[in-house]
Chain A
Amino acid sequence: MRHIISILLENEAGALSRVAGLFSARGYNIESLSVAPTEDPTLSRMTLVTSGSEDVIEQITKQLNKLIEVVKLVDLSDGNHIERELMLVKVRAIGSAREEFKRLVDIFRGNIVDVTEKTYTIELTGPSTKLDALLEAIDRSLVMEIARTGASGLGRGERSLTI
């Protein structure tokens, strides 16, 4: 099963590689990983999407907690949460395809953020499944480039990960 884990870790050189190293050393999956400093400059927040059986997920959270630089973590999938990912897609947009892309982007509530004579760059934010859905809907032969950030998420309401 897919799990989305949020981790607060010390904003120190090497902390990211400890997490990445743990996953490769123990054979866990990383579907995506995103990390950036928080409002507290000594802390980074990492969102990690992984998959595995309940036993594996339990080990993953325990092993992550064991890393000295991990301050706190929560498995967002354990409860209600919101999840967003940002994607940029550059497509070949010529002739009738230009209109079609415009319509499709409107349907998905995305934005076209760069336009040239022959290309569009589409920006789309949403749960990862929505991003996948857009990619399903467009002609893949017209896709020139895709950049996705990986998921980021927060617990709903009072549920929060802070120290």
Chain B
Amino acid sequence: MNAELTGAEIAIRCLQEEGVTHIFGYPGGAVLFIYDELFKQDKVKHILVRHEQAALHAADGYARSSNKVGVALVTSGPGVTNAVTGIATAYMDSIPLVIISGQVPTAAIGQDAFQEVDTVGITRPCVKHNFLVKDVAELATTMKKAFYIASSGRPGPVLVDIPKDVSQHKTAFHYPASVSLRSYMPVVNGNIKQIKKAAQMILGAKRPMIYAGGGVILDDAATELATFTRMLDFPCTNTLMGLGAYPATDRQFVGMLGMHGTYEANMAMQYCDVLIAVGARFDDRVIGNPKHFYSEDRKIIHIDIDPSSISKRVKVDVPIVGSVSQVLTELINLLKASKETGDTHALQEWWKQIEQWRARDCLKYDRASKIIKPQMVVEKLYEVTQGDAFITSDVGQHQMWAAQFYKFDKPRRWINSGGLGTMGFGLPAAMGVQMINPDAMVACVTGEASIQMCIQELSTCKQYHLPIKIISLNNRYMGMVRQWQEFFHGNRYAESYMDALPDFVKLAESYGHVGMRIEKPEDIDGALKEAFNLRDRLVFMDFVTDQTENVFPMVPGGKGLSEMILV
């Protein structure tokens, strides 16, 4: 018989068993016993954030950049409600997290106790699963289940709510090596008949297109995707969530698709005859109006681990449920063994067409401008970091420019809130990325509006000496809102300006960081080099950019992919 441990000790021991190196959190009454146990050990390092939302985003950045489960620890009541935005962010992008929340003692539940909320109820719609642990004897198994559910199948956040008395009660500790749940058995291996059907369809394609999403990154299937795409010589596009799944500098890459995707990617998507969707979900920001998408005849093969993602918005011809790495491997083997070759002549014609579209140079902008163009900042950032940085972003125009102009060649380098679109994500996410990748270059591309949503984390960065480079594209507007108002609301810029901005240089300095303000295009390069040479310092770079610049191409809401607005 093992010695009995308290619930708090068990919670920490479970984290150790899972190999968790860092957790992000904020203490409070209901989690005091857990914090007491954290204090007594040094295997799991706790990072004290300044707001629970940031704890979630940081754990999220940690998970996205490493493929480990991110862990956050928050107290009951406001600790949880503050965390909800971060939980929903992770849920929408299928990020594996385990959130431990404190709860009022079991006897007080339902009594409107101090700092009580129905945590399981509030978080239910934005978690993959959640648990309220009422008996300490169930804690270890519940933690194991939480890690298992979070990281298997289509990943997602799992919350474990621990009442204060449960963290105090004692029981024998045994951490199960594995768990199995009769009600949760994700399919990994794709149906071989379906895969054979897909291979036939691929060999018969005249105008093929590969459309790869975040699922490729989550399943670490970039190598398989590259092999598959190259052996077929097919064009490949990545979604916003999939950037880095296929190398952006490769000839076969046609850029990101969707609302702000490239002309060539969107046109190829619309006019292909066989579409191979890999770990992507035909999001409204990706295909625009489904009716318009249907107006062209094409066959669709859809590979996804989540059956409910298939035929949700777009009917597909060959659905394959399974892990994308496994299914792609099967496909590669089948195609290698096949005696047939595809229609190379048709494929050449198709490439000619794509190159014509590409020649449209849809991402061009005024490089001779006397005012800083935001696109140029991202391009220079790419050059200075040699494409090797982790880039986090917030939400808005800067996010789209980062996605369009930073050429991601590797997966897990582009960290952004694609599904929920959470402003305030960038800086705390960068903290998580830097924690698990201590020697890497980490930059947060943001705007003066987004950065202010979690600006308090400059303090956390100070405490843990995180040398993040903040690239703020400051146009004194909520740029994307302003852009929509310009296009669709008669230039009435209702509340989308940013007035009364702080002096960001002084603000950074007041936290002990380095601040820079860059106003001229010719200074961009030097400033970036100087900032990245300050290897152990956080640098806040306030780029004063063109206020009127818009993100192009743009597929307006409700329109089809070939109805882009171009520069």
Question: Taking chain A's interface residues, is the majority helix, strand, or loop, or is none over half, making it mixed?
Answer: helix
Complex contact A71–B308 (CB within 8 A): no
Complex contact B121–A68 (CB within 8 A): no
| Distance to closest chain B CB from A82 (angstroms) | 26
Within 8 A of A (CB), among B278-308: 306-308
- Determine whether B181 belongs to the interface, using a CB cutoff of 8 Å to chain A: yes
Complex contact B181–A68 (CB within 8 A): yes
Complex contact B311–A63 (CB within 8 A): no
Within 8 A of B (CB), among A17-41: 17-18, 21, 25
Size range of the chain B interface in the assembly: 10 to 19
What is the bound-complex CA distance between A18 and B307, given in angstroms?
Answer: 19
| Distance to closest chain A CB from B202 (angstroms) | 25
Complex contact A62–B308 (CB within 8 A): yes
A14-B120, A21-B124, A21-B125 known; A66+B183 contact, CB < 8 A: no
Complex contact B184–A68 (CB within 8 A): yes
Complex contact B125–A71 (CB within 8 A): no
| Distance to closest chain B CB from A58 (angstroms) | 7
A17-B121, A18-B124, A71-B183 known; A66+B308 contact, CB < 8 A: yes
Complex contact B183–A69 (CB within 8 A): yes
Question: Taking CB as reference atom, which chain A residue is nearest B125?
Answer: A25
What is the bound-complex CA distance between A76 and B182, given in angstroms?
Answer: 22
Question: Taking CB as reference atom, which chain B residue is nearest A63?
Answer: B308
- Determine whether B47 belongs to the interface, using a CB cutoff of 8 Å to chain A: no
* CB-defined contacts of B124 to chain A, threshold 8 Å: 14, 17-18, 21
* CB-defined contacts of A25 to chain B, threshold 8 Å: 125
* CB-defined contacts of B132 to chain A, threshold 8 Å: 13-14
* CB-defined contacts of A18 to chain B, threshold 8 Å: 124
| Distance to closest chain B CB from A56 (angstroms) | 10
- Determine whether B129 belongs to the interface, using a CB cutoff of 8 Å to chain A: yes
Question: Taking CB as reference atom, which chain B residue is nearest A65?
Answer: B307
Within 8 A of A (CB), among B302-339: 306-308, 311-312, 315
- Determine whether B149 belongs to the interface, using a CB cutoff of 8 Å to chain A: yes
- Determine whether A55 belongs to the interface, using a CB cutoff of 8 Å to chain B: yes
Complex contact A70–B308 (CB within 8 A): no
- Determine whether B398 belongs to the interface, using a CB cutoff of 8 Å to chain A: no
Question: Taking chain B's interface residues, is the majority helix, strand, or loop, or is none over half, making it mixed?
Answer: mixed
Specify which of B120, B149, B308 lies most central, judged by the most chain A CB atoms within 10 Å of its CB: B308
What is the bound-complex CA distance between A145 and B132, given in angstroms?
Answer: 38
What is the bound-complex CA distance between A68 and B129, given in angstroms?
Answer: 7
Complex contact B307–A62 (CB within 8 A): yes
Question: Taking CB as reference atom, which chain A residue is nearest B131?
Answer: A14
What is the bound-complex CA distance between A163 and B132, given in angstroms?
Answer: 26
Specify which of B129, B181, B184, B306 lies most central, judged by the most chain A CB atoms within 10 Å of its CB: B184
* CB-defined contacts of B183 to chain A, threshold 8 Å: 9-10, 68-71
Within 8 A of A (CB), among B179-195: 181-184
* CB-defined contacts of A68 to chain B, threshold 8 Å: 128-129, 149, 181, 183-184
- Determine whether A160 belongs to the interface, using a CB cutoff of 8 Å to chain B: no
* CB-defined contacts of A80 to chain B, threshold 8 Å: none
Question: Taking CB as reference atom, which chain A residue is nearest B145?
Answer: A68
Q: Which of B121, B125, B182, B311 contacts A55 (CB 8 A)?
A: B311
Question: Taking CB as reference atom, which chain A residue is nearest B311?
Answer: A58
Within 8 A of B (CB), among A69-113: 69-71
Question: Taking CB as reference atom, which chain A residue is nearest B158?
Answer: A68
Chain A interfacial positions (CB closer than 8 Å to B): 9-10, 13-14, 17-18, 21, 25, 55, 58-59, 62-63, 65-66, 68-71, 163
Known: A14-B124, A14-B132, A59-B312. 10 other contacts (CB 8 A): A17-B124, A21-B124, A63-B308, A66-B306, A66-B307, A66-B308, A68-B129, A68-B149, A68-B184, A69-B183
